[in-house]
Amino acid sequence: MFIRLLKWLFLIFLLMAISVIVIDLYISKSAKADIYNDINKVPSKKAAMVLGTSKYMIGGGKNYFYTYRIRAAAALFKSGKVKAIVVSGDHSTKYYDETGKMQKDLIEAGVPKKYITLDPLGLRTLDSVVRAEAIFDLKDYIIVSQRFHLERALFIAKAKGQEVIGFMAKDIPGTAAAYRMKAREYLARAKAFLDVYLLHTRPNFDGKKEKVNYKK
């Protein structure tokens, strides 16, 4: 009896592992044609949305995922590829403010404050993508993040009927942070697949429409 139970548990684990791998490959393939890493080749859109992350690592060091997203978004604006930037991240408490830091660093990078709109309730990638259209009327825009994150964000956005492309911020391959993110991403993609096709998950917070100020 015990041996039979172990066999069933192993079979269930194997099927789950295969499902996670298949979903990972599917999401990567579905986004491949819509991700750009050359600013000269990325099509122009009205706005870019930068996906949030902490400015600093847990140990206090600089989070280069954050740094390179800010640089990529600023480059899009200063090159005229977009007319506005929405920063979407977690500011659910007064002690943690991703979007405020993103706004400050974009300003320091040369983006005027009046063209930066904050979404402090982008607690998850799904929240950021759904709220982009529901709150800010973004449907045809550029998402800015690293490739591993962009693929999942584009998958969610396209499943919601949005016409999005991704601009790839520089990655930090070969680092411990990169390996942790890659491991986490397998599960995050499986969750995104379930959220979109089975659970039909809604954002944690809705809200009223907000205006994005575009450069003339």
Return the minimum-mean-pLDDT range out of 8-17, 46-55, 126-135, 141-150: 8-17
**Mean of all residue pLDDT scores within the chain:** 94
In this structure, which CATH number among 3.90.1300.10, 3.40.50.620, 3.40.50.150, 3.90.226.10 belongs to the domain 20-199?
3.40.50.620
pTM of the model: 0.94
pLDDT in tens, 52-67: 999 998 888 899 999 9
Torsion of the alpha carbons at 192, 75, 87 and 161, rounded to the nearest 10: -40
**In Å, how far from its chain's centre is CA 158?**
13
Average pLDDT over residues 60-86: 96
- Provide the pLDDT for residue 136: 97
Average pLDDT over residues 162-190: 92
User: Per-residue pLDDT for 108 more than 80?
Assistant: yes
Query: Where are the domains positioned within the chain?
Result: 20-199
- Provide the pLDDT for residue 178: 87
What are all long-range contacts of 57-63, with beta carbons under 8 Å and residues at least 24 apart? 57/177, 63/177
For tokens 């819509």, the residue is: 34
Q: With contact defined as beta carbons under 8 Å apart, do 83 and 48 qualify?
A: no
Q: What percent of the chain has pLDDT over 70?
A: 100
